[in-house]
Amino acid sequence: MTTLDAALARVSQLVATLPAQPFVNGAFQATMHGDALDNVSPRDGTLVNRIARCNAADVDNAVANAKATFDDGAWRRMAPRDRKRLMLHFASMIEARAEDFALLESIDTGKPISATRAFDVPQAINTLRYYAEAIDKVYGEVGPSPSSRLSYAVHEPLGVIGVIVPWNFPLHLAMWKIAPALATGNTMVVKPSELTSLTALKLAQTAIEAGLPAGVLNVVTGLGHEAGDAVARHMDVQLIAFTGSERTGRQLLRAAADSNLKRVSFELGGKSPHLVFADWQDLDTVATQAAWGIFYNQGQICTAGSRLLVERPVMDTMLERVVAVARTIIPSDPMDEATSLGALSSKGHLEAVMAQVERARADGLRIVCGGQVARAETGGYYMLPTVIADVPPDHPLAQDEIFGPVLCVTSFETDDEALTIANGTRYGLAAGLWTASMNRAHRFADALVAGMVWVNGWDSCDITMPFGGFRQSGFGRDRSIHALEKYCDIKSVSYTFG
């Protein structure tokens, strides 16, 4: 048996343990109606398994269990050190099954197995440990009161959290929300993308085996406008922690307004500028980071450096080197250990990305490399890394998120022009620049409208730093100690003494 055959055989064994049912109150439970959805792999378009198509009644059942668990206090009133111990044990159990999580994530998303092994799964474990470790180290505050009074402020969990996440980093992004929500004593209903539900179900199963109380971490699968909408409109859900598209974000705001005025936190899209100034000498390093800054995860990253803005004198050299790197990145089978670029998430998404490329072609833009689907004979959803040069800053390709392996390159002449182009979209998620000038770096770090700015290195932050956007890229922050705040209310308590 080859390594690939062994991996596929293991996937079959694993999905057989994940029935087409939601995971509620510590176990898989039949849906109210038995409806299910086909789950196909982007790798070859074949059926992996079926997942439950949960409806409002299923969501109601999950929320009721999460609420009962919150109300009984078994989780939120647990001593912080004990909650920490359980979460650390949970992390160790995921680690012990890391290969299984990586296999499920790759077959479901089309991501290279090398990436799910090296990034998605270890990062999820790291996130869980980070927030577990924080539990008994974050303090409340005592107010400056007169001596006849003692006033203090405590953070209290909100209750039932609705976690709604997309398909590009299913486990990793879900954990950015699950871990701080758990750490602060909340219970939750997680709604993964209908395209990628496997690792969320496996996670909920593992949580029970790790000893988390039943009903703390529940998972409902199904469609956004059915299961997702029911979570968003539920009167007993106190917060929707969401990562996904702007379109869905707008629907969630309406659902919150129409129901219980629940809170929402949004990590939405981006069109992040990656600026290269002529004073930076090492253009090879920039070319590699610029290419991987857009092509990693098949370009399906909200923080992708999708707009490469290059100072005129180094434009030709930069373009040549980025294209040279792009040509070395060959789409291949995600389950093959040697693959660095896998499949796009779905047939529909591949078609949407290719439609943008065709638009560029029709508008006469210069497609320097790629611009084609690949490996169509496999039945999977692959495309070549694509570089489009001289894209006018106001062209839709430079304005709208493509969410695929498509890099738009534009030149600029002056710092002012660079800043105007960089800030000239409706987004404000991330931005990066390469310059030898500390003065310029500082000026741009201040003036760029972005939740994250990276100087002389793309995507150089980790769990310790806040993650989130300005403008229509969203509001609220994942990662860092700040993420704990959105899962809590603050209560002020005051004692007056005789």
| Active site residues per annotation | 267, 302
232 binds ligand NAD (CB under 6 A): yes
Written as one letter, the residue type at 107 is I
* Contact residues for 455 (Cβ-Cβ < 8 A; gap 6+): 432, 433, 434, 435, 441, 444, 445
Q: Which helix (H) or strand (E) element contains residue 490?
A: strand 488-496
Return the C-alpha torsion angle 331, 336, 338, 341, nearest 10. 30
256-287 in b/e form (b: 16+ CB < 10 A) is beeeeebbbbbbbbbbbbbbbbbebeebeebb
Residue 243 interacting with ligand NAD (CB under 6 A): yes
Judge contact between 453 and 470, C-beta under 8 A: no
Candidates 52, 107, 160, 268: give the one binding ligand NAD (CB under 6 A): 268
Take residue 474 and report the two structure tokens written for it.
């969203």
The kind and range of the H/E element at 154 are strand 149-157
Longest dimension (CA), the chain: 83
Nearer to ligand NAD, 173 or 384 (CB): 173
Binding to ligand NAD by residue 193, rule CB under 6 A? yes
**Under the criterion CB under 6 A, does residue 244 sit at the interface with ligand NAD?**
yes
Do 120 and 105 meet the contact criterion of CB atoms below 8 Å apart? yes
Q: Segment near ligand NAD (CB under 6 A), from 123-131, 163-171, 200-208, 332-340?
A: 163-171
Quick check: 476 binds ligand NAD (CB under 6 A)? no
Q: Give the torsion sign (CA, 309, 315, 318, 321).
A: positive
Q: How far is the CB of 364 from ligand NAD (least distance, A)?
A: 27
6-18 b/e (C-beta count within 10 Å ≥ 16 → b): ebbeebeebbeeb
Residues 276-315 that bind ligand NAD (CB under 6 A): 302
378 binds ligand NAD (CB under 6 A): no
In sign, the C-alpha dihedral spanning 47, 105, 295, 270 is positive
The count of other CB atoms within 10 Å of the CB of residue 360 is 21
- The verdict on 251 binding ligand NAD (CB under 6 A) reads yes
Task: Tell whether residue 167 is a contact of ligand NAD (CB under 6 A).
Answer: yes
CB-nearer residue toward ligand NAD: 106 or 248: 248
CA 66 from centroid of its chain's CA atoms: 23
269 forms part of the interface with ligand NAD (CB under 6 A) = yes
Given 166, 215, 299, 371, the residue binding ligand NAD (CB under 6 A): 166
Beta partners for residue 453, in sequence order = 431
Q: Binding to ligand NAD by residue 220, rule CB under 6 A?
A: no
In the complex with ligand NAD, which residue's Cβ is closer, 298 or 332?
A: 298
Of the listed pieces 58-66, 186-194, 368-376, 411-419, which binds ligand NAD according to CB under 6 A? 186-194
Which residue, 187 or 272, is less far from ligand NAD as judged by CB? 272
Q: Is 363 helix (H, G, I), strand (E, B) or coil?
A: coil
The residue range among 3-11, 72-80, 220-228, 275-283 that interacts with ligand NAD, by the rule CB under 6 A, is: 220-228
- Return the range that interacts with ligand NAD (CB under 6 A); candidates 86-94, 114-122, 248-256, 281-289: 248-256
Nearer to ligand NAD, 26 or 244 (CB): 244
**The binder of ligand NAD chosen from 22, 26, 112, 224 (CB under 6 A):** 224
Nearer to ligand NAD, 275 or 429 (CB): 429
Q: Give the DSSP H/E element, type plus range, for residue 248.
A: helix 246-258
**At closest approach, how far in Å is the CB of 333 from ligand NAD?**
23
Distance of closest approach, residue 296 Cβ to ligand NAD, in angstroms: 13
* CB of 331 vs ligand NAD, minimal distance in Å: 20
- Tell me: does residue 459 bind ligand NAD (CB under 6 A): no
Interface ranges with ligand NAD (CB under 6 A): 164-168, 173, 191-194, 224-225, 228-229, 232, 243-245, 248, 251-252, 267-269, 302, 401, 403, 429, 469, 474
